[in-house]
Amino acid sequence: MSLANALTAEWEAAKPDLFINPRHASRAYGPREAAVLDEAGFSEAQRHIHAWDGYRPTPLHDLAGLAGELGIAALAYKDEGGRFGLGSFKALGGAYAVERLVEAHGPGITVTCATDGNHGRSVAWGAERFGCRCVIYIHKHVSEGRRAAIEAFGAEVRRVDGTYDDSVRQAAADAAREGWTVVSDTSYPGYVDIPRLVMQGYGVMIDEALDQIDRAPTHIFIQGGVGGLAAAACFRSWSRYGADRPRLVIVEPVLAACIIATARAGRLTPVAIGEETIMAGLSCGEASLVAMEILDGGSFAFMTVPDSAATGCMRLLARGTGRDAPVTAGESAVAGLAGAIAFLAEPDKAAAIGLDATSRILVFGSEGATDPALYEKIVGHPPRD
Ligand SMILES: Cc1ncc(COP(=O)(O)O)c(C=O)c1O
């Protein structure tokens, strides 16, 4: 199978990592996890978000052609490209937290955050929608296209001459001085409540997908930045299917693999970001504290993929395979799919996580072409829609 062989060559060249989780728990969703994300909080998020103007579930594509080529029973791709015109699932998280903060404290607040692009877009959109001031921090690698998209929602954007972590520190320092509220998608000791709201918002997308799918998936491959998205997927699937939940594999870029480092060490373990990954939304050096509370026992395995596997998957989806229609996927959207393909190309690895001809895999295309110029450079033509 040519596609998988190509990705496997890249996999070997980039020395990717695989870690089967020794703490994977074969039990029902428990109190440790429910202290982070629970049913009541999820219902509240669902009630709010379902009432937003323009809300409708994003499509779930049945990639039957690719599933056939990969030798599995089914491959479903949740396509977040059309989410509220923002282009990613992130629309559900930051904006939901802003809504709840404005409800609690009134429109006089100023919300702020650091961002690689998508989270800041969501916070800015939420601030415009729910009526409060917004200041967003970006680092030196964030493209001008992503900056413009945030400014379009009326937010003030400040560029910090440094990395993502530098922009996080700047946002925190300015917020402390000015009395602003930091709406972060990641959590650390002493800062947990707002990231929990953000993750509850993501859960709305996960439930949509699990409602749209014919039969429960056997495996979910999902990309990780700080782990909030993966934790939301773990929560919803664990809570819905109990001990028989799908096996969850977290996929990170080789160049920003903080979740696998944390899982292996059993405690928060930051990694230095040297070269920036093309998967901008996943370029994080430190996992989210509360997300790891859920992933610690919830995920089955952790792995990394090289940037070239992501660009390969973007082109593959843009072309369409066999009877599958073309799909527009951004750089951070396809890491989960790349991970699944890389596994399936190696029988030993596939067997280690129980992948076989009967497997039904669910992946989350977490963004469309959120940076159209970059998309065109990678795929060779502009985004279709
Ligand atoms: C498109 C996209 N996918 C996935 C992620 C990863 O989400 P998390 O950082 O919660 O792991 C992000 C984060 O910004 C993103 O923008």
Expressed in angstroms and rounded, the spacing between residue 293 Cα and the centre of ligand 1 is: 18
Closest by Cα among 94, 78, 217 to 150 = 94
Q: How do the residues of the chain divide into helix, strand and coil, expressed in percent and rounded to 5?
A: 50, 15, 35
Task: Specify the ligand 1 atom closest to the Cα of 284.
Answer: 9
Residue 189 domain-assigned? no
Section 197-208 average pLDDT: 98
Task: Specify the ligand 1 atom closest to the Cα of 230.
Answer: 11
Please check whether residues 108 and 82 belong to one and the same domain: no
Please check whether residues 270 and 289 belong to one and the same domain: yes
Which tokens hold the place of 169?
A: 């520190």
Please check whether residues 284 and 224 belong to one and the same domain: yes
Question: CA 15 to CA 57: how far, in whole Å?
Answer: 38
Identity of the amino acid at 16: P
Count of structural domains within the chain:
2
Question: CA 33 to CA 226: how far, in whole Å?
Answer: 17
Closest by Cα among 331, 377, 278, 313 to 75 = 313
For the CA atoms of 85, 143, 305, 336, what is the dihedral angle to 10 degrees?
Answer: -10
Task: Specify the ligand 1 atom closest to the Cα of 228.
Answer: 10
Residue 385 domain-assigned? no
pLDDT at site 11? 65
Please check whether residues 206 and 318 belong to one and the same domain: yes
Does pLDDT of 359 surpass 60? yes
| Residue having the nearest C-alpha atom to atom 15 of ligand 1 | 281
pLDDT at site 183? 98
Binding site membership of 281 for ligand 1 (Cβ less than 6 Å): yes
Expressed in angstroms and rounded, the spacing between residue 282 Cα and the centre of ligand 1 is: 6
Residue 194 domain-assigned? no
Please check whether residues 295 and 277 belong to one and the same domain: yes
Closest by Cα among 357, 289, 300, 313 to 18 = 300
Question: CA 227 to CA 301: how far, in whole Å?
Answer: 13
Residue 192 domain-assigned? no
Residue 265 domain-assigned? yes
Binding site membership of 236 for ligand 1 (Cβ less than 6 Å): no
Please check whether residues 292 and 166 belong to one and the same domain: no
Last residue of a domain, one of 152, 184, 216: 184
Active site residues: 90, 116
Last residue of a domain, one of 129, 152, 184: 184
Percentage of the chain modeled with pLDDT above 70: 96
Section 166-187 average pLDDT: 95
What mean pLDDT is reported for the chain? 94
Residue 164 domain-assigned? yes
Section 349-369 average pLDDT: 95
Question: CA 283 to CA 339: how far, in whole Å?
Answer: 17
pLDDT band at 4 (very low <50, low <70, confident <90, very high): low
| Residue having the nearest C-alpha atom to atom 12 of ligand 1 | 281
DSSP structural state of residue 215: S
Please check whether residues 210 and 307 belong to one and the same domain: yes
Q: Identify the domain containing residue 224 by its residue range.
A: 2-88+200-379
Please check whether residues 226 and 373 belong to one and the same domain: yes
Does pLDDT of 33 surpass 60? yes
Please check whether residues 208 and 176 belong to one and the same domain: no
Please check whether residues 345 and 223 belong to one and the same domain: yes
Task: Specify the ligand 1 atom closest to the Cα of 280.
Answer: 16
366, 367, 370, 374: which to mutate for ligand 1, most atoms within 8 A of CB? 366
Please check whether residues 180 and 224 belong to one and the same domain: no
pLDDT band at 322 (very low <50, low <70, confident <90, very high): confident
Residue 28 domain-assigned? yes
Last residue of a domain, one of 160, 184, 208: 184
Please check whether residues 212 and 180 belong to one and the same domain: no
Residue 193 domain-assigned? no
pTM reported for the whole predicted model: 0.96
CATH, residue 336: 3.40.50.1100
Does pLDDT of 81 surpass 80? yes
Does pLDDT of 368 surpass 50? yes
Expressed in angstroms and rounded, the spacing between residue 225 Cα and the centre of ligand 1 is: 5
| Residue having the nearest C-alpha atom to atom 10 of ligand 1 | 228
pLDDT band at 385 (very low <50, low <70, confident <90, very high): low
pLDDT at site 6? 62
| Residue having the nearest C-alpha atom to atom 16 of ligand 1 | 281
